[in-house]
Amino acid sequence: MPRLPQVAAGCFALMLAGLFVLNTHPAVFQLGLAGFTLAGGVGNPISKPANWQMTPVAVGFGALFLLHLVAGVVVAPGNWPSYWRNLQLHLPLIFLPLAFWAMPPWPAAWVRRLWLLFVGLVVLSSLGSTGYYLLHQDAINLAYTRSQIMPTRPDYVRFSLMVSLATAYCAVSAWQLPAGSPGRLGLLVAGGWLLFFQYLLAVRSGLLATTVLGLLAVAWLIWKPKAYRPAAGLLAVLLLLPLLSYWLVPTFRYRFHNTTYDVSRTADVRSANNYSMVGRVYSWKVARSVLASHPWVGVGPANLDTELAAAYRQEYPAIEAAAYLKPHNQLLYWLVSFGLLGTLVAVAAFYYPLLRQGRRPPPLLLAQYVILSLSFLVEPTLETPVGLPFAVLFVLLAGQRLE
């Protein structure tokens, strides 16, 4: 029993590693999730929670899971398998916060080691992708002209968000360490590499998140500690990196031109079959159409594919079935699935852990919510096998106040 907190931390580390292979080896993450849940429940029964600072997360994410659960009342007869798959996908919303809530708070050293493990895994994965790029540079550059990205683990959209969060951790931790310390130097090197890699990878979600976090850091440096020189230096980096990357990094340059070309084709419906940006635009239009028919309670996540397919066939017959997309926007996904009433609950539940932190939330928790909120603009992040556990794990880890 005294070793259960260590077992739980080990299982959490296993889940962090499992994030990177979740699409190919889901058993790694599932084993960590099962062990973490059992360690939390056995170590301290749920009737006597020990980690009260996790209560807002347990309440908020539990309410979000409950929303998916009660959506069963609108499931069409043939869509029950989809309903059960959706519930299984969202199980981390209930199991992870409750297990964290039930166990005693972890020592600050454990939390830091888990963060460093995450940063190390992101750096190793980025080095692997970079090595593959260097070995196949011509082929991958050509792929970028066709809206394709270099191979990453996990998928490139979620990985770009991980790179943003790992960069934020390096910056926050380096700021807190004394100048000249080896740990600070290591964090600055890792953070600098990840910042460069974000432009080499050239994924729009990650670039947007990294840039916004950088601008927020500049504003904080000017306002709070009056650190004008570091603020000016960071602002210069944020302004120069896109310009230098455009001239020196082929993947970024090709991605920029590819994006502008995709956007120029949005008026042609048939382009949704071949261009990702066009497909996303029409996924928003179809979602709004379905929402107009079910404004208050939505159609339910289990019926979403059926309803969207019917709307695509009726309104945009030129788009092939293989190109049908779920709404590439988390808010739109909630609106179509749960309606206006359910979406109010979903938004309140998701942001409740952050709002309960008051006016001074932990910086990494704020960074994680900024990253997730920006990703919501272009992805249904919480409806993907990697996006959901990434969101939950790091809201839990970042919510720990280190002494």
Predicted local distance difference test score (pLDDT) of residue 52: 79
Query: How many domains would you assign to the chain?
Result: 1
Domain encompassing residue 142: 111-264
Predicted local distance difference test score (pLDDT) of residue 403: 44
Predicted local distance difference test score (pLDDT) of residue 139: 96
Question: Residue 37 domain-assigned?
Answer: no
- Among candidate residues 13, 100, 90, 9, the one with its CA nearest the CA of residue 396: 100
Predicted local distance difference test score (pLDDT) of residue 133: 98
The token pair at 352 is 């409740």
Question: Residue 402 domain-assigned?
Answer: no
Write out the chain's pLDDT in tens, 403 residues: 567 788 899 999 999 999 999 999 999 999 999 999 988 766 555 455 567 788 999 999 999 999 999 999 999 999 999 999 999 999 999 999 998 888 888 889 999 999 999 999 999 999 999 999 999 999 999 999 888 999 999 999 999 999 999 999 999 999 999 888 889 999 999 999 999 999 999 999 999 999 999 999 999 999 988 999 999 999 999 999 999 999 999 999 999 999 999 888 998 999 999 888 899 999 999 999 999 999 999 999 999 999 999 999 999 999 999 999 999 999 999 999 999 999 999 999 999 999 999 888 999 999 999 999 999 999 999 999 999 999 999 999 998 755 4
Question: Residue 117 domain-assigned?
Answer: yes
The token pair at 213 is 């976090």
What pTM value is reported for the model?
A: 0.96
Question: Residue 194 domain-assigned?
Answer: yes
**CA–CA separation, 393 vs 381, rounded Å?**
14
Question: Residue 3 domain-assigned?
Answer: no
Question: Residue 292 domain-assigned?
Answer: no
Q: Are the C-beta atoms of 108 and 337 separated by less than 8 Å?
A: no
Question: Residue 173 domain-assigned?
Answer: yes
Question: Residue 23 domain-assigned?
Answer: no
Predicted local distance difference test score (pLDDT) of residue 44: 59
